């Protein structure tokens, strides 16, 4: 079992680390510093920490003002409030003048858990990626949270990153390199591509492991940057593999799935299965129960892929084969060990 | 070089400021007329305040727009962009010829201030309340750097309806931002009519006092009072200052004065002619 760390924990620690290296970093919070994990920064660098109270709009407006004076403000709150309550400030005061503000939102997605639908931000990626000039980042684990924060700080411009509340497995080694806008192919594969983001990267890897057992070769891409999205990796996947499945802890409307579809529709029309929260609100529950109930699991990724292959199979059978990418033998078998659904 | 330039700029006297404000008012009506859209009422009401800031109070240098430790001005009531653009142009940030391009396609004089396009604009504003928050960040930053830079922000009275204004007011007092001076352009009118009819804002002085601000009340068209208020704000330590400037919306143009209908409307050719005549004639 790999180590379990919440991305917000990694973010809080990394903030202190980068704060030591760069004294232009100032941190703002909206009375949630213990939850967002900016508290350690506040005690290490009290003069560079501003608690703005429960006032997310003013916090981000103030961050904009600090940025005009050459500071690198990192502002945190829950994703629901940073992206939701303060949307217009993010758009007009930060992104329109292209100011160097880093919005680090925690408690994103369903895994905020028991607080329920009012606190479960499943729209933030959609909202934030629609704003011009804004880079949108969604780290998958503790290592990527740390490394991507480092990239955010060393790259000029307005950026939004989302972190989770719940502990998630560490999937990367410390020497993994991260580049904003460049996805990571965490597992090579030839038949099907799963493009995942955030905590769903681990679920994608689990699903891929199971699918390999029945002979399918699965590519898994960690799309840690939702905007600008890595078009090259998406087009490559669309051309080289038969099916793309997207997986995100977010609404299926407007997030990663939509972003991938925007690219393929233009560059390489592809059948895409999107896994995310269907057009509905969440509810209170334990993070794992919620992920299970709303289908954000490796099992659902596995089943979705299996269903898609069977669907493919029926159509193609009437013509000349099974529709899988395997070589067909004389008796109609494809050499894929039956994993693709061919008989 | 730099010091010499600073010495070249003489602070305008009250007599000179009156002339400058008159020129700015003429610019405003001409600009709004030329673009056939814009906000003359709240621009005219703030002309004296901005004249005082740009031609007497602020430590700025149009030859060195990004000068370290310069004072900063944020037009939180961003729709009054014409008064800001005219002040900047007349202070030397760009040619006054540009003013008539206001709101036209390709112009750097956007309908609401855009810091990326217009020299001298310190913050992009337009949706109300946001500029006030940005000014908090600027003042905080100056405190962090032990910079003498002072931040000035102009608010409209209708703007006080926005909740973010009070979030900002609370935070400015909390962080003891005595390097921040807000000015309230208190003309009493917002788009739909008198403030107190649309959404009661009074008593503004007691509201800000209770939020921990130093409050100074003045006639916003009296330069002696305006300059004295800025002086007093500068010498006030430990708390931010708001200058509540009683003004007349549409000031200087008889048919625009105290008329909410001129909040966001352009004058016709005939109306322009009358307005310019009333403002002291035009060449």
User: B89 or A313, which is more confident?
Assistant: B89
Q: What is the band of A87 on the pLDDT scale with cuts at 50, 70, 90? A: very high
Residues of B in contact with A89 (CB under 8 A): 130, 133, 164
Lowest mean pLDDT, pick from A154-158, A212-216, B278-282 = B278-282
Q: What is the band of B233 on the pLDDT scale with cuts at 50, 70, 90? A: very high
Strand ranges inside A124-178, DSSP E: 135-137, 159-162, 167-169
Q: Residue A309: what pLDDT?
A: 85
- Which of B210, B213, B209, B241 has the alpha carbon at shortest distance from B228? B241
CA atoms within 13 A on the CB side of A219: 23
- Which of A250, A158, A157, A178 has the alpha carbon at shortest distance from A14? A178
DSSP conformation letters of B29-55: HHHHHHHT-S-HHHHHHTHHHHHHIII
- Mean pLDDT within A138-142: 98
Tokens of B111: 């309908």
Q: Residue B5: what pLDDT?
A: 47
Per DSSP, helices labelled H in A2-38 are 7-21, 33-36
Give yes or no for residue B230 having a pLDDT over 90: yes
Q: What is the band of B23 on the pLDDT scale with cuts at 50, 70, 90? A: very high
- Which of A260, A232, A236 has the alpha carbon at shortest distance from A248? A260
Closest CB from A47, A68, A98 relative to B138: A68
User: Per-residue pLDDT tens for A35-82?
Assistant: 999 999 999 999 999 999 999 999 999 999 999 999 999 999 999 999
Scan residues 10-39 of A and list those with Cβ closer than 8 Å to B: 26
Q: What is the band of B282 on the pLDDT scale with cuts at 50, 70, 90? A: low
Is residue B144 within 8 angstroms of chain A, CB to CB? yes
Lowest mean pLDDT, pick from A311-325, B173-187, B240-254 = A311-325
User: What is the rounded CA–CA span in Å between residue A7 and residue A168?
Assistant: 7
Q: Residue A81: what pLDDT?
A: 97
Is residue A63 within 8 angstroms of chain B, CB to CB? yes
Residues of B in contact with A50 (CB under 8 A): 140, 175
Per-residue DSSP letter, B268: -
Q: Which among B69, B70, B122, B137 is the top mutation candidate for probing chain A, defined by the most A β-carbons within 10 Å of its own β-carbon?
A: B137
Q: Residue A331: what pLDDT?
A: 42
Give yes or no for residue A316 having a pLDDT over 90: no
- Mean pLDDT within A138-161: 98
User: What is the rounded CA–CA span in Å between residue A238 and residue B180?
Assistant: 55
User: What is the rounded CA–CA span in Å between residue A330 and residue A12?
Assistant: 60
Yes or no, beta carbons of B137 and A96 under 8 Å apart: no
Scan residues 215-244 of B and list those with Cβ closer than 8 Å to A: none
Prediction ipTM score: 0.93
Per the DSSP assignment, residues forming a β-bridge with B190 are B193
Give yes or no for residue A340 having a pLDDT over 50: no
CB-based contact B98:B109 (threshold 8 Å): yes
Closest CB from A53, A60, A71 relative to B141: A71
Q: Residue B265: what pLDDT?
A: 95
Q: What is the band of A321 on the pLDDT scale with cuts at 50, 70, 90? A: very low
User: Per-residue pLDDT tens for B64-95?
Assistant: 999 999 999 999 999 999 999 999 999 999 99
Which residue ranges form the domains of chain A, and what is each CATH number? 4-169 (3.40.50.970), 184-304 (3.40.50.920)
Q: What backbone torsions phi and psi does residue B101 show, to the nearest 5 degrees?
A: -90, 0
CB-based contact B58:B206 (threshold 8 Å): no
CA dihedral B215, B217, B220, B221 (to 10 degrees): -150
Yes or no, beta carbons of B138 and A66 under 8 Å apart: yes
Percent of all residues in chain A with a pLDDT value above 70, rounded to a whole number: 90
Q: Residue A2: what pLDDT?
A: 81
User: What is the rounded CA–CA span in Å between residue B27 and residue B132?
Assistant: 26
- Mean pLDDT within B240-244: 98
Q: Residue A274: which residues within 8 A CB-CB, separation 6 or more?
A: A245, A246, A252, A257, A258, A261
- Mean pLDDT within B115-120: 98
- Mean pLDDT within B38-46: 97
3-class DSSP state of B107: coil
Give yes or no for residue A326 having a pLDDT over 80: no
User: What is the rounded CA–CA span in Å between residue B54 and residue A111?
Assistant: 52
- Mean pLDDT within A137-164: 98
Q: Residue B9: what pLDDT?
A: 81
Closest-CA distance, B154 to chain A, in angstroms, reads: 15
Q: Residue A334: what pLDDT?
A: 44
Give yes or no for residue A333 having a pLDDT over 90: no
Residues of A in contact with B139 (CB under 8 A): 65
Q: Among all residues of A, which ones are annotated catalytic? A: 56
Average pLDDT, chain B: 95
Give yes or no for residue B8 having a pLDDT over 90: no
Is residue B123 within 8 angstroms of chain A, CB to CB? yes
Is residue A70 within 8 angstroms of chain B, CB to CB? yes
Q: Residue B165: what pLDDT?
A: 98
Give yes or no for residue A23 having a pLDDT over 60: yes
User: What is the rounded CA–CA span in Å between residue A106 and residue A9?
Assistant: 10
Q: What is the band of A343 on the pLDDT scale with cuts at 50, 70, 90? A: very low
Closest-CA distance, B145 to chain A, in angstroms, reads: 10
User: Per-residue pLDDT tens for A230-274?
Assistant: 999 999 999 999 999 999 999 999 999 999 999 999 999 999 999
The CA distances from residue B272 to A113, A127, A187, B41, B47, in Å, are: 62, 44, 70, 14, 18
- Which of B64, B48, B49, B79 has the alpha carbon at shortest distance from B9? B64
**For B248-280, b where at least 16 C-beta lie within 10 A, e where not — what string?**
bbbbbbeebbbebebbebbbeeebbeebbebbe
Average pLDDT, chain A: 92
């Amino acid at each position: 079992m790999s180590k379990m760390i919440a991305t917000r924990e990694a973010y809080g620690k990394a903030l202190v680390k980068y704060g030591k290296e760069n004294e232009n970093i100032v941190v703002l919070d909206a009375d949630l510093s213990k939850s967002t994990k900016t508290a350690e920064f506040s005690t290490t660098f009290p003069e560079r920490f501003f608690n703005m109270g429960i006032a997310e709009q003013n916090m981000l407006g103030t961050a904009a003002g600090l940025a005009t004076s050459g500071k690198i403000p990192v502002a945190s709150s829950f994703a629901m409030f940073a992206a939701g309550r303060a949307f217009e400030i993010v758009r007009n005061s930060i992104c329109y003048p292209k100011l160097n503000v880093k919005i680090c939102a925690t408690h994103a997605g369903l895994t905020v858990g028991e607080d329920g639908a009012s606190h479960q931000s499943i729209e933030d990626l959609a909202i934030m990626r629609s704003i011009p000039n804004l880079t949108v980042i969604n780290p998958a684990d503790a290592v990527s949270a740390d490394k991507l924060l480092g990239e955010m700080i060393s790259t000029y411009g307005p950026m939004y990153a989302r972190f989770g509340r719940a502990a998630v497995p560490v999937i990367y080694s410390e020497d993994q390199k991260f580049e904003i806008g460049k996805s990571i192919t965490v597992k090579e594969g030839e038949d099907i591509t799963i493009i995942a983001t955030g905590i769903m990267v681990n679920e994608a890897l689990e699903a891929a492991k199971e699918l390999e057992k029945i002979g399918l070769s699965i590519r898994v891409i960690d799309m840690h940057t939702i905007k600008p999205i890595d078009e090259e990796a998406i087009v490559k996947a669309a051309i080289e593999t038969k099916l793309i499945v997207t997986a995100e802890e977010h609404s299926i409307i407007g997030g990663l799935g939509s972003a991938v579809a925007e690219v393929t529709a233009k560059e390489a029309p592809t059948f895409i299965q999107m896994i995310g929260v269907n057009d509905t609100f969440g509810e209170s529950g334990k993070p794992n129960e919620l992920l299970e109930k709303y289908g954000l699991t490796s099992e659902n990724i596995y089943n979705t892929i299996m269903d898609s292959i069977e669907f493919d199979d029926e159509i193609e059978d009437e013509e000349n084969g099974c529709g899988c990418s395997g070589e067909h033998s004389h008796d109609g078998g494809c050499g894929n060990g039956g994993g693709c659904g061919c008989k | 070089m730099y010091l010499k330039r600073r010495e070249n700029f003489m602070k305008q006297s009250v007599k000179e400021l009156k002339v400058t404000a008159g020129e700015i008012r003429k610019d405003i009506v001409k600009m709004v007329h030329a673009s056939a859209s814009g906000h003359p009422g709240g621009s005219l009401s703030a002309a004296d305040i901005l004249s005082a800031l740009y031609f007497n109070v602020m430590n700025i240098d149009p030859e060195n727009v990004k000068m370290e430790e310069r004072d900063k001005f944020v037009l939180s009531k961003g729709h009054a962009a014409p008064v800001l653009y005219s002040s900047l142009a007349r202070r030397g940030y760009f040619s006054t010829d540009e003013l008539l391009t206001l709101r036209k396609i390709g112009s750097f004089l956007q309908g609401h201030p855009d810091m990326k396009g217009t020299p001298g604009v310190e913050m992009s504003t337009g949706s109300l309340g946001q500029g006030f928050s940005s000014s908090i960040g600027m003042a905080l930053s100056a405190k962090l750097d032990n910079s003498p830079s002072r931040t000035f922000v102009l608010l409209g009275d209708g703007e006080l309806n926005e909740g973010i204004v009070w979030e900002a007011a609370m935070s400015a007092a909390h962080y003891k931002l005595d390097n921040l001076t807000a000015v309230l352009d208190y003309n009493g009118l917002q788009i739909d009519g008198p403030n107190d009819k649309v959404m009661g804002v009074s008593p503004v002085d007691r509201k800000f006092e209770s939020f921990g601000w130093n409050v100074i009340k003045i006639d916003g068209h009296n330069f002696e009072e305006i300059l004295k208020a800025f002086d007093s704000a500068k010498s006030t330590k430990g708390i931010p200052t708001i200058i509540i400037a009683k003004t007349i919306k549409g000031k200087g143009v008889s048919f625009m004065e105290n008329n909410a209908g001129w909040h966001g409307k352009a004058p016709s050719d005939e109306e322009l002619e009358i307005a310019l005549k009333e403002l002291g004639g035009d060449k």
